[in-house]
């Protein structure tokens, strides 16, 4: 049924996944290997509806649906409206439809288009920010700058769609760790995202970033440096509205959860606690 590899955000682990696109429309980030084996395509409306029909036959009750793969928002608005309407008709019990939206795809949609999608059931968009620092964004070939990221976030929020963003600790390497942390904290403050996930850089063989490391053009951060970077990032988040903060992905050295700004001191104290060498070591041993 599925075209693998298949990815979805951790918070969609209990969702029905419908592949409306295959691969990623950008597919050029220097650290990412997720969809390198796939040519990006938008599936035909007929195929997507056939998939929805099929899933309706086999699943009795579906609360949440995630439209995969990497950038389902790039689908033409009229087609997305038809997909959402069809989902509503076949899965009336479904209370949440979400998808990944690249900043470029978001910016291709007008405010009205996003509002229409919201009215037809699109509840949340996941957007990869990775960094708020323009040099880092350029280095990783993200394809957008910080200004465009903020603009995309604002467009989602203005349409009353929930916004979930991810950033990557360590993605600037040792050379750019400070600017990456500070500017990422600042961009999050400007975005008013509802959810923020902090991941830690995991380098995969075959990526451009891996080659840079082999050529000694990029220095990875140690565990302690990663924690210092995350601490600096949190210190620079000055959110007016609540942001659900999660740093509990499998890639992270320690697990942190809270709501900003309310839990800022708590999160910073947690990092201080773990920065004690022994405690970090114990945590490492527990994970092994
Ligand atoms: S990080 Fe996201 S946008 Fe970049 S290539 Fe990977 S899937 Fe595509």
- Cα of 155 vs centre of ligand 1, distance in Å, is 20
pLDDT at 253: 86
Instruction: Scan for tokens 């970090």, then name that residue.
Output: 280
- Cα of 224 vs centre of ligand 1, distance in Å, is 27
Q: Which atom of ligand 1 is nearest to the CA of 128?
A: 2
CA-nearest residue for atom 4, ligand 1, is 29
pLDDT at 223: 92
pLDDT at 288: 39
Beta sheet of 256-260, edge-to-edge order: 16-19, 64-68, 96-100, 122-130, 162-169, 195-200, 243-247, 256-260
Averaged pLDDT, 129-141? 98
Helix (H, G, I), strand (E, B) or coil at 16: strand
E strand or H helix at 279, and its extent? helix 277-287
- Give the whole-angstrom CA distance, residue 91 versus residue 110: 27
Ligand 1 binding pocket mutation candidate from 5, 32, 126 (most atoms within 8 A of CB): 32
Averaged pLDDT, 26-38? 94
Q: Which atom of ligand 1 is nearest to the CA of 25?
A: 8
- Cα of 227 vs centre of ligand 1, distance in Å, is 24
CA-nearest residue for atom 6, ligand 1, is 32
Upper half-sphere CA count for residue 180 (Cβ side, 13 Å): 28
- Cα of 58 vs centre of ligand 1, distance in Å, is 31
Q: Is the pLDDT of residue 188 over 80?
A: yes
Helix (H, G, I), strand (E, B) or coil at 256: strand
Residue 26 Cβ contacting ligand 1 at under 6 Å: yes
Residue extents of the structural domains in the chain: 12-287
Residue 21 Cβ contacting ligand 1 at under 6 Å: no
Q: Is the pLDDT of residue 37 over 80?
A: yes
User: Phi and psi at residue 110, in whole multiples of 5°?
Assistant: -80, 170
Question: Could you tell me the fold of the domain covering 12-287?
Answer: TIM Barrel (3.20.20)
Q: What percent of the chain has pLDDT over 90?
A: 92
Q: Which atom of ligand 1 is nearest to the CA of 27?
A: 5
Give the chain's length: 288
209 Cβ partners below 8 Å, 6+ apart?
30, 31, 140, 203, 218
Q: What percent of the chain has pLDDT over 70?
A: 96
Residue 103 Cβ contacting ligand 1 at under 6 Å: no
Higher pLDDT, 208 or 287: 208
């Amino acid at each position: 049924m599925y075209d693998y590899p298949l990815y979805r955000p951790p918070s969609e682990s209990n969702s029905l996944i419908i592949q409306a696109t295959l691969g990623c429309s950008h597919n050029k980030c220097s650290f990412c290997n997720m969809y390198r084996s796939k040519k990006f395509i938008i599936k035909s409306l007929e195929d997507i509806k056939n998939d929805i029909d099929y899933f309706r036959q086999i699943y009795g009750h579906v609360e949440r649906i995630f439209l995969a793969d990497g950038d389902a928002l790039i689908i033409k608005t009229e087609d997305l409206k038809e997909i959402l309407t069809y989902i509503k008709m076949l899965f009336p019990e479904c209370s949440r439809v979400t998808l990944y939206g690249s900043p470029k795809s978001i910016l291709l949609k007008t405010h009205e288009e996003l509002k229409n999608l919201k009215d037809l059931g699109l509840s949340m968009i996941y957007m990869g920010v990775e960094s708020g620092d323009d040099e880092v964004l350029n280095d990783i070939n993200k394809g957008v700058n910080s200004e465009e990221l903020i603009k995309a976030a604002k467009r989602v929020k203005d349409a009353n769609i929930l916004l979930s963003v991810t950033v990557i600790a360590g993605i600037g390497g040792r050379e750019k760790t400070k600017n990456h942390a500070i500017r990422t904290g600042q961009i999050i403050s400007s975005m008013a995202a509802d959810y923020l996930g902090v991941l830690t850089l995991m380098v995969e063989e075959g990526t451009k970033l891996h080659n840079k490391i082999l050529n000694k053009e990029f220095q990875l951060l140690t565990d302690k440096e990663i924690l210092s970077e995350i601490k600096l990032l949190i210190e620079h988040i000055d959110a007016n509205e609540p942001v659900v903060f999660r740093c509990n992905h499998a890639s992270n050295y320690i697990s942190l959860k809270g709501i900003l700004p309310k839990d800022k001191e708590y999160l910073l104290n947690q990092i201080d606690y773990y920065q004690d060498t022994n405690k970090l070591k114990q945590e490492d041993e527990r994970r092994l």
